[in-house]
Amino acid sequence: MPVWRLRVRMDDRPGTLARIAVRLADLECNVLGLTVFPVPGGVLDEIVLRPADGLPKHVLAAAIREEGCTCSGIVEADVHELRDPPTAMLLAAKQAVDAPPQLIEAVRQVLAADLVTLLPAAEANPDRTEGGNRAVFPLDTTKVLVARRRWAPFVELELTRVATLIDLLTAARDNLSGAVVLDRRDGAAVVLRPGTLRDTEAVAELHRRCSSTTLFSRYHTGIRTVPRNWLHKLLLPPGGVSVLAVCGRDVLGLGRLIPQPDRTAEISLLVEDSWQRQGIGTALLARMTVLAAARSITGLTAHRLPGDDAMIRTALRAGLHAAPAPDDPETVRLEIPSPR
């Protein structure tokens, strides 16, 4: 037996939905599901029903209009798609995380779209909405998904759901809370992972292995022994995170990211002398950039000694644009590319 999905635009007033339900009952339609979308000036109800035998779609649409509402679309549906929106979103998220190439199909299901295609970002033309029947979702700086649905325009809540689904898939791909193994030609098993208080002694050993020149470049003061409470702040910075480069039991490098109120973050790097110029600092910075982007941070700042361009060179190797701040040459500003 057929199943229809229809969308009804109505004023958000008591009794409106009840009148629609009575009309559907008069037409011998069996309501199977209801989802309410808030829209400007009212609500948009998506009703899934089993129509009476031989009921034309235009008769159903006319009955809805007689109640002062608008039927914006009627389309054939599959009874197997009858899931509440939270369950449908969770199933789509699981599908996309388990098999990232299935993201296109997951987005199509969430939107009940006619078509979802993958396009280069340069061809996206996001301003072309086709009356709300076309939507563009950036995946990164180079690719987008374009969704089209002829039977009914998209509503803002649906677009937000898909954007959240893509953000979730990005977070799963980047493994924000987990470890990352560096692919090194020398075969050394170097891992980047979040720092914890259990790493206090290993980070203290890192500082003891660093030369006075390296420590001065990092802290801008003569220091050889780091107090324990200072080590704790390095590993668990207020409101921020630390990233360690680890080989075996040794901590080779330490990066720290502290968000600021203006959607920027302060960063710092320390790599022991024997591992410098081997890509450790670049990998730490690249990882902190991923963590910063996940927090909607738009830029990074780092303090340096006069004439010290090490952070700028590291940023360039990590694919970031970096330059001294115009108002403070001892501060380096780094831009985070945004996929949005």
Torsion of CA 130, 59, 8, 85, to 10 degrees: -90
**Is the pLDDT assigned to residue 82 strictly greater than 70?**
no
Confidence of residue 79 (pLDDT cuts 50, 70, 90): low
Q: What is the pLDDT of residue 338?
A: 60
Q: Is residue 293 one of the residues assigned to a domain? A: yes
Q: What is the pLDDT of residue 188?
A: 84
Contacts of 265 by beta carbon, 8 Å cutoff, 6+ apart: 240, 257, 258, 259, 292, 295, 297, 299, 300, 301
**For residues 5-22, average pLDDT:** 91
**Is the pLDDT assigned to residue 146 strictly greater than 50?**
yes
- Whichever domain contains 202, its CATH number is 3.40.630.30
Same domain, 144 and 47: no
Tell which of 38, 62, 81 closes a domain: 81
**For residues 194-211, average pLDDT:** 94
Pairing of strands 190-194, 180-181: antiparallel
Same domain, 185 and 310: yes
Confidence of residue 27 (pLDDT cuts 50, 70, 90): very high
Higher pLDDT, 303 or 84: 303
Tell which of 66, 81, 96 closes a domain: 81
- CA pair distance 320, 298, nearest whole angstrom: 12
Same domain, 254 and 310: yes
* Domain of residue 290, residue span: 180-335
**For residues 328-334, average pLDDT:** 89
Q: Is residue 236 one of the residues assigned to a domain? A: yes
Q: Is residue 340 one of the residues assigned to a domain? A: no
Burial of 176 (C-beta count, 10 Å sphere; 0-12/13-18/19+): middle
Same domain, 69 and 207: no
Instruction: Calculate the alpha carbon distances from 289 to 179, 209, 228, 235 in Å.
Output: 15, 27, 27, 17
What percentage of residues in the chain have a pLDDT greater than 70? 97
Same domain, 216 and 302: yes
The residues facing 325 across adjacent strands are 328
Beta strands in 62-114 (DSSP E): 70-77
Q: What is the pLDDT of residue 340?
A: 43
Q: Is residue 10 one of the residues assigned to a domain? A: yes
CA 235 remoteness from chain centre? 25
| Domain count along the chain | 3
Same domain, 186 and 151: no
Same domain, 144 and 252: no
C-beta separation of 256 from 267 below 8 A: yes
**Is the pLDDT assigned to residue 49 strictly greater than 80?**
yes
Confidence of residue 13 (pLDDT cuts 50, 70, 90): confident
- Whichever domain contains 42, its CATH number is 3.30.70.260
**For residues 94-122, average pLDDT:** 86
Q: What is the pLDDT of residue 137?
A: 94
Q: What is the pLDDT of residue 80?
A: 59
Same domain, 113 and 222: no
CA 338 remoteness from chain centre? 11
**Is the pLDDT assigned to residue 114 strictly greater than 50?**
yes
**For residues 64-69, average pLDDT:** 92
**For residues 63-72, average pLDDT:** 92
